[in-house]
Amino acid sequence: MNKETLTAYLKLLACDGIGVLHARKILDAFKNAEAVFNEEQHHFFADGKLSNTIEKAVKAFNKQEIVEEELRFIEKKGIECVGILDDAYPALLKECSDAPILLFYKGDLSLLHNRCLAVVGTRKISAYGKEITTKLMEHLEPYKPTIVSGMAYGVDIAAYHEARKLNLNMVGIMGTSFKKLYPSVHKKYYDDLFTNGLIISEYAGFNTLVPELFTRRNRIIAGLCNATVVVESAETGGSLSTAYFANDYAREVYAIPGKITDAFSKGCLRLIHENRAQILYNFDHLITDLNWNTTDEPKKQAEVKKQINLNDFTDLQQTILKILQNEALHIDELALQTQLSMPVLNAELMMLELNGIVVGLPGKMFKVKE
C-alpha cells in the first residue's frame, strides 16, 4: 500500500465519531480511501448516502500529527497494511459487515488463503482442555488448515504450541496495536509468527487501549474462518463472543462437551444447549462437515446417506426423521407436527445428533445431516 493511501485510511481511523460501520459506508460511497479527504471529491456527500453527521466528522479531521507519528512507527517496525478495498484483503472477512477497514500485519498474509479454523477458549485452561487441544491438532494435521486464535493465555497459546509442533500454519489476532504486544510474556511467540506465521491487528497506535478491544478482536477471529471450535469456556467466558460472532456470520461453531460440574465446560455446554454450537465429540465429524476430506469423499458420503434405513431407528426417531427429510424445522414446529412433549423430543433429537443423523442449527432449528 502506498503512503498516500495508507495516510487516508489512518485519517479515517482517527476521525472522531467514525466507527467501523460508518467507515465502511464512507468507503463504499467513495470507492477510494484517498478521495475521502479530497475536497474536490466531496460531492459524494451530496448524494444522500451519507449523513450530515458523517460529513461533518470527515471535514472536521484535525489529527494529522498522530497520523504522521503512526506512519513513522509503521515504517520503523516493518509493519504491512491491507485495506478493505484491496484485492489482498482476506475474502472471508470482507464478507462481514463490521470487518475492519484496515488490517495491520506482520508475516505471511497468504496463509489466510488456506482453509482456516479458529480455536479459542478460556485463559484458565485445564488438563482436559490441554489434552483436547493436542488431540484436535493431531487430528487436523493431515488436512493442513491454518489455525487462527488470539495470543492470550490458556487455550489460545496452547493452540499456538500444538500448531507449531505439527508445522501447521498459525495466525494470531491481537486485541492491541503493534505498539503493545499483549501479554508481554508471549513476545517470543509473536516474534516467531512475524517470521513463521502471521500476526494481525486492526488497531493503530493512537487507539486507546480498553478491555472492549479484546472482545471486538474476536469478530476478526470468527470472520477469518470457515468454522470456530470452542475448547473450554466459563459460562460467561470471553470466547463465547467469538462463537456469537461466528453465528452472526453464518459460520459453523463447534463446542467440546465436558462435565456439567466443571466451571470451564459450562460455556461450551451453554452453546450446545442454545443451539449456537454443534457438539464436537468426534473430530471426524468436523472434517466431514467442512468437506476437508479427499476429492472422492462427497461420493462416499452420498453412498452412506442412501444406506440409512429407517428401520434402524425407534418409532419416535422414525417419526422425527420423516418430518425433517425435506426441510429444516424449528423445534416448536417439530413438536407440533410430531405431537411429542418437549422433554421427549429433546431427548430423541440428542440421540439423533450423537449418532450423526440430525444436526442442530442456530435458532433451535434442526435438519437431517447431509
Q: Assign 48 a pLDDT band (cuts: 50, 70, 90).
A: low
Distance CA 154, CA 159 (A): 9
Q: Is the pLDDT of residue 297 over 70?
A: no
Radius of gyration of the chain (CA): 23
HEC string of the chain equals CCHHHHHHHHHHHHCCCCCHHHHHHHHHHHCCHHHHCCHHHHHHHHHCCCCHHHHHHHHCCCCHHHHHHHHHHHHHHCCEEEECCCCCCCHHHHCCCCCCCEEEEEECHHHHHCCEEEEECCCCCCHHHHHHHHHHHHHHHHHCCEEEECCCCCHHHHHHHHHHHCCCEEEEECCCCCCCCCCHHHHHHHHHHHHHCEEEECCCCCCCCCCHHHHHHHHHHHHCCCEEEECCCCCCCCHHHHHHHHHHCCCEEEECCCCCCCCCCHHHHHHHHCCCCEECCCHHHHHHHCCCCCCCHHHHHHHHHHCCCHHHCCHHHHHHHHHHCCCCEEHHHHHHHHCCCHHHHHHHHHHHHHCCCEEEECCCEEEECC
Task: Lowest mean pLDDT of 18-22, 133-137, 303-307, name the range.
Answer: 303-307
Say which residue, 209 or 349, is predicted with more confidence.
349
How confident is the model over 230-239, as pLDDT tens digits?
Answer: 999 999 878 9
pLDDT for 296 beyond 50: no
Q: Please, what is the end-to-end C-alpha distance for the chain in angstroms? A: 43
Lowest mean pLDDT segment, chosen from 248-262, 274-288, 321-335: 321-335
Q: Is the pLDDT of residue 303 over 50?
A: no
Convert the pLDDT of each residue in 97-127 to its tens digit. 899 999 999 999 999 999 999 999 999 999 9
Please, which pLDDT band fits residue 61 given cuts at 50, 70 and 90? confident
pTM (2 d.p.): 0.77
**pLDDT confidence of residue 306:** 43
What pLDDT was estimated at residue 351?
83
**Lowest-confidence pick of 143-147, 255-259, 289-293, 299-303:** 299-303
User: Which region holds residue 340: left if phi is over 0, alpha if psi is between -120 and 50, else beta?
Assistant: beta
With 70 as the cut, is the pLDDT of residue 207 above it? yes
